[in-house]
Structure 1
Amino acid sequence: MATASIHRPLPPELVDAQHEIEGYARDYGLDFFTTIFEVVDADQLNAIAAYGGFPVRYPHWRFGMEYERLSKGYAYGLQKIYELVINNDPCYAYLLDNNSFTDHKLVMAHVYGHCDFFKCNAWFAETPRNMIDEMANHGNRIRRYMDRFGVEEVENFIDCCLSIEDLIDIYSPFIRRPELDSARRFGDPPEPPDEPTPRFQAKSHMDPYINPPEWIARQAEKRQQEQQRADERFPREPIRDVMWFLLQHAPLKSWQLDILSMLREEAYYFSPQGQTKIMNEGWASYWHSTIMTRH
């Protein structure tokens, strides 16, 4: 599977086109990180797309599978990737080398719409902006684990992690939870108040019939059992982020914890792209249409 290097200079005519389109985009008020374009061939673009838009990832069979799917789709004329852009600072964007000059200009305008969306949309506000470096670092660490513990064992564990990569809490990056007070941080939880068993109102001479002692005893026992079940519940409160829960409580080895942590970080990086796909593409399409038809 081929990979592409970062960064190769653009041909002079594309450099001029980039400066022109970037000027139009800024005149319209778009705000984006520095954007670096690179021209690659179809095989390289399919490889980068198979890696989720990154030139380097960790070794795993699913990337090869995706590369084969994209390559066959392109070879059979079923699909074609016109552009690919990475949410990073700076943003990296890839142009397909056999596109026409007009296509390149349209793609550049489209990319600037994406880059503005990456920088300004609230869902992307908490994503790391150095993810190209992070992905390369993850790849190096996982390769070392494969050398040490074996490819099959590490890959099987990655398969397990990827099967739950969607079980995260997409809202957690935006939640600022207050600090727990000392009574909740340390020691046993406070005992619940000893509330009396509910009784029906009745006159004193009717109370033994309205609230028979055996019924009161059964209700008290039932409440005690419910409280015991609540005390034994684990976790005490529902947790959306299953990957975080496993990091905290699963009996995993240190290298497994490290891999799970890396894949969780990547899951949080990619989640806003799935959440905003329609809006993101619509925003980019609006601006490429505006720039290309008015200038």
Structure 2
Amino acid sequence: MRGTQKKIVSQADQLRRAQDEILKYAHAYGLQPFRTVFELVSHDEMNEIASYGGFPTRYPHWRFGMEYEELQKGYSWGLQKIYELVINNDPCYAYLMKSNMMVDQKMVIAHVYGHSDFFRNNMWFSQTNRRMIDEIANHGTRLRRHVERYGQENVEAFLDAALSLESLIDYHSVYSPHRRRARYEFTEEQEGPGVHKLKAQKGYMDRFINPPEFMDAQRKKIEDQLQKKKRFPEEPTKDILEFLIEYAPLDTWQRDILSIVREEAYYFAPQALTKIMNEGWATYWHAKIMTEKALKEGEVVDFADHHSATLGMRPGAINPYKLGVELWRSIEERWNKGQFGREYDECDDLVAKRAWDQKLGQGREKIFEVRRIYNDITFIDDFLTKEFCIQHKLFVYKHNSQSNRYEIADRDFEAIKRSLLFRLTNMGHPVIVIQEGNFRNRAELLLKHRHE
């Protein structure tokens, strides 16, 4: 027993020293992570926490149990392993697997600091709740209270319906100065105003001052204004969850559940909007810190093995770690060598473009700038190049049923880029808006699918 206790204390001391060392390296490179609290957990505990989205005090629901079973089976069969889990919070909380080798723990700690820096400094996370761990616990308490009062079946059935709508939010709205839509007021229809005529000094001048075309335009303007007043909502609204909270005929506890689902959807949205950037950024920094600073001679082979597994690609799938880190490295190299701008873009000599090096050394500055203001869509749109796609064999693949293999279906750069951007638009969900809130006066919603 004493030996086991001594071993545990020794592991904790090693991790504490590694954490302090890697944090020092991260600061030296210019990273600015939140204060981070690391927790050691078993693989069962890690899978349980991951199934709750990183929040062990989250409300209970069968969906989380289903995700736990999937993670457990994946781990048991050797198909997947979660090395770390980090929560966007201040302070950040990160979970480490007890069974990890020390080299893995160091790699994970460096990876976590990359994520923490991204959470803190990327503008798409600027409006997230930095005390979400406390808020999630509050959500769990409220849901359990509703279960006690209204019964598990009633609450679970409504929660199932609410979760099926969790993607129907307007994630751009939180960055607008007018964040919340004002509540609609219904008033009795009043008689519409008459057409305003320009005053004529002399009666015979009226037909010249107020010609038929002018009067028709005035009438149409008034009709449009009246129609706009009748329309509800005045403009198509994308935040369908908020609309339901405000206007649907629901009990208070049902509105509360919708508000919980909506708040958590907005919290998780930036992670979906920046998945490629965020994972690529963390991978970039764990690789740099480990290979340039923290790695010991005896750890090189294990690090290379586990790092390469992180970057592995499967046919028909995009690995955000791989695509992200390679794009970050591409940006750094291009801005170090000056491979951007009009002169470079208009150069038709492929040999000259490959050898292009103005020795600007602006790469590090550029990637920190990109980290601050971009999301995945703008990241791909601005920095994915034809040369990058060729170098990394990033083509459009399709499955050939005859050969039972994935084969290149399209090498066209614009098609490749368009395919990637299409996957990322609205986090991969269809864009649906409320066109009318009381369709044909039947208390029904008219929804429109926007093909953007």
- TM-score, structure 2 as length reference: 0.54
**Segments ≥4 residues shifted beyond 4 Å:** 184-193, 219-231
Q: Mark the runs of 5 or more structure 2 residues left unpaired by the alignment.
A: 1-7, 198-211, 294-452
The AA in structure 2 aligned to 1:172 is: S
Cα distance between partner residues in 2 of 1:232 and 1:113? 51
Is 2:107 aligned against 1:106?
Answer: yes
What's the counterpart of residue 279 of structure 1?
A: 277
- C-alpha displacement of 1:234: 1.8
Partner in structure 2 of residue 170 of structure 1: 171
Unaligned runs of 5+ residues in structure 1 are 1-7, 197-210, 212-216
2:234 is matched with 236
Aligned length: 266
Residue 247 of structure 1 is matched in structure 2 by: 245
Distance 1:53 1:146 in 2: 23
- How far residue 59 of structure 1 moved from its aligned partner, in angstroms, is 1.1
Query: How many Å separate the matches in 1 of 2:274 and 2:81?
Result: 22
> Closer, same or farther in 2 for the Cα pair 1:185/1:158, shift >3 Å?
closer
Tell me whether 1:20 sits opposite 2:21 in the alignment. yes
So what's the TM-score if we normalise by structure 1? 0.82
Q: Give, in whole Å, the separation in 2 of the partners of 1:13 and 1:26.
A: 20
Q: Offset at 1:179?
A: 11
| Change over 3 Å in CA distance of 1:229–1:71 after alignment to 2 | same
1:259 equivalent to 2:260? Answer no
Q: 1:271 corresponds to which letter in structure 2?
A: A
Once the two structures are aligned, what percentage of the paired residues are identical?
Answer: 55
Structure 1 residue 177 displacement after superposition:
2.5
In the superposition, relative to structure 1, how do residues 247 and 193 fare at CA in structure 2: closer, same or farther (>3 Å)? farther
Instruction: Give the CA deviation at 1:93.
Output: 0.4
- Whole-Å separation in 1 of the counterparts to 2:260 and 2:117: 27
The Cα shift of 1:33 comes to 1.1
User: How large is the RMSD of aligned CA atoms in angstroms?
Assistant: 3.1
Contact 2:34 2:90 survives alignment (8 Å): yes
What does 1:63-102 correspond to in 2, within 5 Å? 63-102=64-103
CA distance in 1, matches of 2:188, 2:109: 60
Where do residues 118-133 of structure 1 align in structure 2 (5 Å cutoff)? 118-133=119-134
SS at match of 2:95: strand
Q: 1:179 to 1:76 in 2, by over 3 A?
A: closer
Q: Which residue is equivalent to 1:38?
A: 39
Aligned to 1:143: 144
1:232 is displaced (CA, Å) by: 3.4
Distance 1:224 1:117, change over 3 A: closer
Q: Is 2:195–2:222's contact at 8 Å kept on the other side of the alignment?
A: no
Shift in Å, 1:222:
9.7
Q: Secondary structure at the match of 1:11?
A: helix
1:226 Cα deviation from its structure 2 partner: 7.2
Q: CA deviation at 1:194?
A: 3.2
Question: Cα deviation per residue 1:66-118 (whole Å; 9 max; x = unaligned)?
Answer: 00000011001111101100000110001111111000000000000000000
